[in-house]
Structure 1
């Protein structure tokens, strides 16, 4: 087999492997992690009491002053202007907000709030953070989550 054919075959295999990886991970909610100086998990309060007082919500409000925290939970969606999956995520989150009382959806333009994006380690759009009633990050998803996944995740966050 000529060398060019081997290279083309390797490129196709790598592309298929990457596509399979993205299909498995895109839009899946994962456990949260500690974000530079912000309490990220339930055990953060036990390990760093001074940091535990600051929440992700404090950073969001500093960047978007008119933002409102939901009584039960808040979706903070980071989007960009020409992002098709961002529109699908907006639609799914809006439908969930209509179904579940006390939940708020806030969309943040990542391009206009780069300092917040960097602070919260948002690597791509859409990224959705699910904050609990106190403004702490409960979980996050990179990519466009399905409505069913959002509802299941929200149920575990609000305790229903």
Structure 2
């Protein structure tokens, strides 16, 4: 076996290893609801903002110039008076979006005070940019007029129920 064959074999093994690590990471993180740092995502500018915490990932910069605002969420149909809104960004030919729609609609049908809104990402590009949406489906959980959690991919129904339970307790 020549040196070019060995080099090719090493490259192939390296590519397979990197692809495997990426696949495992993607599988573990897909659909997982993560808390959103309390930045400018609030619909009420007078709402108190908790201090940043190391265990809460900062997904958006907390500055006044960020385009995600009350107007963005309201334009998408989010009512700040609704205790919890499950805001789903979808696209036309997205099979996981259909599964997400069923999961979120089931949760909204089971739990009082929860609304499910589905938004076509292609028709709302300004909102997609403002809310830092990178893929479909993406689910945002909005409570008290601010985004508190987000998931890229299909969230599990028990995970959504667990994420909204404390929000509904606070609203009651």
Q: Which category describes the TM-score, using the shorter chain as reference length?
A: 0.7 to 0.9
Residue 102 (structure 2) aligned to one of 88, 91, 106: 91
Counterparts of 2:95 and 2:14 in 1: how far apart (Å)?
A: 29
State whether structure 2 residue 16 is matched by structure 1 residue 12: yes
User: What residue ranges of structure 2 are gaps of 5+ in the alignment?
Assistant: 53-63
CA gap of 1:68–1:32, structure 2 versus 1, over 3 A, is closer
Contact 1:75–1:106 (Cα < 8 Å) also in 2: yes
Counterparts of 2:159 and 2:50 in 1: how far apart (Å)?
A: 28
Superposition RMSD in Å: 2.8
Aligned residue number for residue 116 of structure 1: 127
State whether structure 2 residue 139 is matched by structure 1 residue 139: no
SS at 1:81 equivalent: coil
Question: Following TM superposition, by how much is the alpha carbon of 1:33 offset from its aligned partner in structure 2, in angstroms?
Answer: 2.7
Residue 3 (structure 1) aligned to one of 1, 7, 30: 7
Question: Following TM superposition, by how much is the alpha carbon of 1:34 offset from its aligned partner in structure 2, in angstroms?
Answer: 4.8
Question: Following TM superposition, by how much is the alpha carbon of 1:86 offset from its aligned partner in structure 2, in angstroms?
Answer: 1.0
Aligned residue number for residue 61 of structure 1: 74
CA gap of 1:157–1:57, structure 2 versus 1, over 3 A, is farther
SS at 2:122 equivalent: coil
In the TM superposition, 1:33-112 aligns within 5 A as: 33-34=37-38, 37-39=40-42, 44=49, 58-62=71-75, 64=76, 67=77, 69=79, 71-112=82-123
Normalised to the residue count of structure 1, the TM-score between the two structures is 0.81
Contact 2:83–2:113 (Cα < 8 Å) also in 1: yes
Q: When the two structures are aligned, how many residues end up with a matched partner?
A: 150
CA gap of 1:124–1:92, structure 2 versus 1, over 3 A, is same
SS at 1:145 equivalent: coil
Residue 151 (structure 1) aligned to one of 133, 157, 161: 161
Question: Following TM superposition, by how much is the alpha carbon of 1:24 offset from its aligned partner in structure 2, in angstroms?
Answer: 1.3
Normalised to the residue count of structure 2, the TM-score between the two structures is 0.76
User: What residue ranges of structure 1 are gaps of 5+ in the alignment?
Assistant: none
